[in-house]
């Protein structure tokens, strides 16, 4: 059985809404991100599928396929892996190796998890992630915590019954970002 892994950039106060551009902190001039990029590559090597909600999918599709000088490897990875987008309205995904999932969320995701392969990663996709949390389908959370406090914005765990989480890793990066990995159960 594959693991469903939620990977989010998140502020100290739990905001995952990136509308204010707060995670640019790690991209400031002179910030060495090589340690964080190495971890991202480790994570990418362990997954062969990415699951998105429609809005995040459209944002990613509008950006990543056009990146030709991406030293992180994210563009190449996203172009190569199977992508799944949960949507009742999207007709033509317009990005190779993409399947639109139109059926009941729990049924579709359980089928993905039961298929052979590596981890299935979900990133962004606030509404989708909340549905996955509520359905008890998340196996792991990888939270990249940024040294920012916003005080407002969409939070990862709004009005959700959170399963018991077990901390399995903490890893600080030179940028001030800290990775917190939690397993459910």
DSSP letter string over 167-179?
EEEEEE-TTS-EE
The angle that helices 126-134 and 54-63 make with each other, rounded to 10 degrees, is: 140
pLDDT at 32 (0 to 100): 86
pLDDT at 26 (0 to 100): 57
pLDDT at 3 (0 to 100): 97
Beta strands in the chain (DSSP E): 4-11, 47-53, 82-86, 98-101, 119-123, 140-146, 165-172, 178-184
DSSP state of 155: B
Closest CA to 176 of 41, 23, 43: 23
Q: What is the pLDDT along the chain (185 residues), one digit of tens a residue?
A: 999 999 999 999 999 988 777 777 656 777 888 999 999 999 999 999 999 999 999 999 998 999 888 888 899 999 999 999 999 999 999 999 999 999 999 999 999 999 999 999 999 999 999 999 999 999 999 999 999 999 888 888 877 777 789 999 999 999 999 999 999 97
pLDDT at 185 (0 to 100): 79
pLDDT at 96 (0 to 100): 95
pLDDT at 27 (0 to 100): 65
**Token representation of residue 122:** 């979900």
pLDDT at 18 (0 to 100): 81
Residue 176 backbone dihedrals phi, psi, to 5 degrees: 100, -10
Q: Which residues pair with 85 in a beta bridge?
A: 52, 100
Closest CA to 168 of 149, 148, 147, 140: 140
| Residue with tokens 């994210």, as numbered in its chain | 74
CA atoms of 137 and 87, how far apart (whole Å): 18
């Amino acid at each position: 059985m594959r693991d469903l892994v939620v990977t989010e950039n998140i502020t100290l106060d739990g905001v995952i809404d990136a509308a204010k551009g707060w995670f640019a902190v790690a991209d400031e001039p002179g910030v060495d991100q090589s340690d964080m990029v190495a971890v991202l590559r480790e994570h990418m090597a362990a997954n062969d599928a990415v699951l998105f909600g429609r809005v995040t999918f459209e944002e990613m599709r509008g950006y990543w396929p056009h990146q030709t000088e991406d030293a992180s490897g994210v563009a190449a990875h996203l172009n190569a892996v199977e992508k799944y987008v949960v949507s009742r309205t999207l007709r033509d995904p317009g990005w190779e190796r993409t399947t639109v999932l139109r059926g009941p969320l729990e049924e579709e995701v359980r089928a993905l998890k039961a298929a052979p392969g590596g981890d299935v990663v979900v990133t962004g996709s606030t509404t989708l992630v909340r549905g996955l949390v509520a359905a008890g389908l998340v196996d792991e959370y990888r939270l990249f915590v940024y040294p920012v406090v916003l005080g407002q914005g969409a939070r990862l765990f709004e009005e959700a019954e959170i399963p018991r989480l077990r901390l399995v890793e903490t890893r600080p990066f030179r940028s001030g970002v800290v990775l917190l990995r939690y397993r459910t159960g």
